[in-house]
Amino acid sequence: MIAALLLIAATATATATPTATATATASPKPQAYAAPPRRLVLWHSYRAAEEAGLLASIALFEQRHPDIKVELLAIPYDAFPSKLTAALPTDHGPDLFVFAHERAAGWARDGRLAPLAGDADLLGIEAMTIDGVVQGLPLALKSVALYHNRRLVPRPPATLAELAAIARANTRAGTYGLAYQFTDFYYHAAFLNGFGGALFEEPGHRPRLATPEAERALAFVRDLRGAMPEEPTSTLVAALFREGRAAMAINGPWFAGELGGVDYAVALLPAPLRPFLSVECVLVSRRARQPAAAASLASFLAGRESAVARAVEGRQVVATRSAYDDPRLRGDGFLMAFRAQAERAVLTDSSPQMAAVWEPQKRALVAVMSGVDPAEALAQAQRRAVAVSRPAPATRSAWPYAVAAALVAVAAVVALRRAPRRAERQPAGTVARAYAYVAPAAASLLVLVFVPFAFGVGLSFFHHAGGRFTFVGLQNFADILGSRDYRLSEPMSFWFTLAVTLLWTVVNVALHVGIGLALALLLRDPLLRFKGVYRVLLIVPWAVPNYITALLWKGMFHKQFGAVSHLLIALGIEPVGWFTHFSTAFAANVVTNTWLGFPFMMVVALGALQSIPHELYEAAQVDGASRWDQFVHVTLPLLKPSLLPAVILGSVWTFNMFNVIYLVSGGEPGGATDILVSEAYRWAFQRNEAYGFAAAYSTLIFLVLLGYSALTRRAAREMEPA
């Protein structure tokens, strides 16, 4: 590590001279020693074929520039954006990285990227040209196009009417005319743009989602409902198309890798439809240690040679126009189709306001596909977008708060000193040893619990936008509790979500305790055989990681393909869309969470039951108690001291059960089944990175639970046996 730093320092001083000499390939100056190779670090999130294409390009570059060594780092896509946000302002970031323009534009606006020389050969260069300065060079173009199964649809549709007709004609039992992720706004954008809809109004670039064009686009898609599979996920669409059970699909170049042997072709989406175009660029960090070398690598990667390599090996739809003169590319129907679609696509808006549009649009799509009127759905989406893209609250001075905090700290210290010493003075050695034993656990608690907690509470006093934090005092709390921007009874209101969370907790804990206790009573029967087997089987739900269980149940609740729907059909009941109504979505969540939670209560109840002396039941029998009387007057009261802590614990866990809510219902319909903790998550990671707001949410959750434990502690103390 240190050697590497010294190396970098040495090369940095060596390249402090004007850039012309750094990349000189002309007569090398005589040197006393061979210069160490210059090092460039490039981050990307490619896999498989695309990664192979990139590697091939890098190899070519290194051949041309033997004095430059390129180090690649592949980062999984989910972690990539936040890693970059964190690393770009520091010295530990990459020199170059590859990213799509939607997000990259944000980093450019934050001043993280170095300017580059433009190239007219590149398609889509305007995506990363901000205020006239080119800050990224396009490498590949990504948009969706129309995949069609050549056996079912030999000639692709040329108009919207044809698309609808072919889709309906090809829909029979088990086969669908069209399969695509219609609840994902990225795909729907093709229709929105096709019907002439826009997302923003000028001046001010404010979201304007409730337009007649948007309504028409939604209505068109809704009318296609019968020809498409419901609740489509990427896995479902791929599976259907692969098995020849989807005549057409709308998807991007990445889809090809999942299709196996089905006979398909890619065509342009019928005429008015214009999908979003995502331009994947190579970008140079402003803090690159070798700016000239980095710029030269970037130019090379966007250049013709690298483009051909990436197209041939990585199957990328490259942005370099001249690359398409190569016969290998020209003969590739797949690449040419996507290239043609790219010309007819619309650059995805990369303004900061765009981030606030995705979730509201998704909610509107889900609502319309489950029967809500498009105008109403869009109106709600508009309200959501406005609420999410809330302007920053006024910055406040931190001094009053600092002073208040200092006063509180002083008061706490005084109170502690004043408190009567209850323990006797221990010899110093004993005390020191005791602290030594406690120290490791205390240290880990400090680092893992207290420090993040304090950080989170502190964060709730700030507002975050584009990497910058401003102090806003208690404004976040006021906004949350005052339910600004939306009605109290709307799902995005804190109070609505609090009510849902309370209902969620009460129903679940009641079921957990009820079922757990009933099973424990059954297992206690001394005459029951195979008790050991039952006990193991009943523990299994708790043992399986709840993440997996949640995904399994979500699959089972799928309206068309889920096991629950098949069961309902077998019973002669019409299957329902579980996630289109609050009651059924809530029930689906409750079923999953109860499945996960009852074993814990069962185990606690079993243990508690075994601690009740058998003689008490005999005495009760002699006194004239029936089995029910015995349960009510002996079992239940004696179980209470053991069950109460379990109930308290269980309710706190359930209150914060993120996994089930997020993975099973995903908050549908329209965010109604979201609980406080999943709302906080969305504020932080799905709505404009509103970290401060989300931290305030979390602090409120903490305060609610704190109050709850204080109440239950009092109840528990009253229950202490005399």
Partner 1 sequence: MADVSLRGVWKSFGDNAIVKGVDLAVGSGEFTVLVGPSGCGKTTLLRLVAGLEQPDAGEIAIGGRSMGGVSPRDRDVGMVFQSYALYPHMTVRENLAFGLALRRTARAEIDDRVGEAAALLELSPLLDRKPGQLSGGQRQRVAMGRAIVRRPRVFLFDEPLSNLDAALRVQMRGELQRLHQRLASTMIYVTHDQVEAMTLATRLAVFHEGRLLQQGAPLDLYRRPANRFVASFLGSPAMSFLRARVASGRLAGAGFSLPAPPGADEGMEVEVGLRPQALALAAEGPLRGQVEAVERLGADGYATVRCEAGPVTARFEGGEDVRVGRSVAVAVDAGQVHLFAGDGRAIEVRVAVAR
What is the contact surface with partner 1 in residues (CB under 8 A)? 613, 615-616, 618-626, 629, 633-634, 637-638, 721-722
Pick 26 or 622: Cβ nearer partner 1:
622
CB of 524 to partner 1, least distance (A): 18
Of 307, 278, 320, nearest in space to 119 by CA: 320
CB of 718 to partner 1, least distance (A): 13
- Cα–Cα distance, 132 to 130 (Å, whole number): 5
CB of 624 to partner 1, least distance (A): 4
Pick 459 or 517: Cβ nearer partner 1:
517
DSSP code string of 440-489: HHHHHHIIIIIHHHHHHHHHTTEEEETTEEEE-TTHHHHHHHHTTTS-TT
Tracing tokens 């795909």 back to the chain, one arrives at: 187
Q: Which sign does the torsion angle of CA 194, 195, 196, 200 carry?
A: negative
Pick 55 or 612: Cβ nearer partner 1:
612
CB of 636 to partner 1, least distance (A): 10
Strand partners, 134: 129
CB of 531 to partner 1, least distance (A): 19
SS3 629: helix
- Cβ atoms of residues 495 and 488 within 8 Å: yes
- Cα–Cα distance, 519 to 522 (Å, whole number): 5
Residue type at position 6:
L
- Cβ atoms of residues 328 and 344 within 8 Å: no
Pick 458 or 607: Cβ nearer partner 1:
607
Pick 345 or 620: Cβ nearer partner 1:
620
Residue type at position 59:
A
- Cβ atoms of residues 264 and 147 within 8 Å: yes
Strand partners, 201: 206
CB of 535 to partner 1, least distance (A): 25
CB of 78 to partner 1, least distance (A): 53
Pick 8 or 625: Cβ nearer partner 1:
625
CB of 637 to partner 1, least distance (A): 4
Residue 278 phi/psi, 5-degree rounding, is -110, 125
Going through 64-126 in order, the beta strands assigned E by DSSP cover: 68-74, 96-100
Q: Is 492 exposed, middle or buried (0-12, 13-18, 19+ CB in 10 A)?
A: buried
| C-beta neighbour count of 178 within 10 angstroms | 27
CB of 711 to partner 1, least distance (A): 22
Pick 29 or 529: Cβ nearer partner 1:
529
Pick 637 or 707: Cβ nearer partner 1:
637
CB of 620 to partner 1, least distance (A): 8
- Cα–Cα distance, 116 to 305 (Å, whole number): 19
Residue type at position 590:
V
Pick 424 or 720: Cβ nearer partner 1:
720
In sequence order, which residues have a C-beta less than 8 Å from that of residue 75 and are 6 or more positions away?
43, 44, 45, 83
Beta 264-267 vs 145-149: how paired, if at all?
antiparallel
Tracing tokens 């305007």 back to the chain, one arrives at: 126
- CA distances 654 to 641, 659, 669, 705, Å, are 20, 10, 20, 11
CB of 722 to partner 1, least distance (A): 4
CB of 641 to partner 1, least distance (A): 9
Pick 616 or 704: Cβ nearer partner 1:
616
Pick 427 or 721: Cβ nearer partner 1:
721
Pick 437 or 628: Cβ nearer partner 1:
628
- Cβ atoms of residues 319 and 302 within 8 Å: yes
- Cα–Cα distance, 147 to 142 (Å, whole number): 15
